[in-house]
Amino acid sequence: MKGPSLYRSKSAFTAKKKKVSPNFDKNFTSLSESKSPVFRKSLDEGVLGEANNDGSIFVDKSVPKGSPLEAEVVAHEQKHIDDMSTKIKVPGKKNKVKMLDYGDNFVIYKGKKLNRKDGMIEHPSTGKMKPEGDTSFPWEQAAYKEGNKARKEAEKKI
């Protein structure tokens, strides 16, 4: 299982904690800034990026370095990382909760635990199972918005 990811019509989530590896690119530069460590690696087919529970971002090796696409992927995944570290007050809950969290069998969005199984996640509004990464998920809508904004800004710099 993998963390929120970009462009897979099925997003990925990973519940496993990852240690900072020697593959971390200390000299990573992008047309989009990232507050998180970014690693380049081969990801599943159709997956360009993943946000991980440890705060790191994976970018697929096929994404051209310094490209507007890379800026889009990094910004999209950074939005997921930001959401996973943001705590919000939810009616009926005593303590603040993470805006977004996940494990192998669940996604929690704004305090609501959603089922997750075989690449599908329960939609928070309809209760229907949808493919991971579906653009109707509110957390994906916000991430795609950030990614598109970063791509447009990056294209201006070229």
- Structural domain spans, the chain: 5-157
In terms of pTM, does the model score above 0.75? yes
3-state secondary structure of 149: helix
If one compares 101 and 3, the residue with the highest pLDDT of the two is: 101
The residue among 58, 73, 83, 48 whose CA lies nearest residue 151 is 73
Q: Tell me: the pLDDT tens digits for 8-22?
A: 433 343 333 334 444
Task: Report residue 31's pLDDT band, with 50, 70 and 90 as the boundaries.
Answer: low
Contact 74, 41 (CB under 8 A): no
- Which residue's entry shows tokens 């996940």? 102
Cα within 13 Å of Cα(130), Cβ side: 20
| pLDDT score for 101 | 94
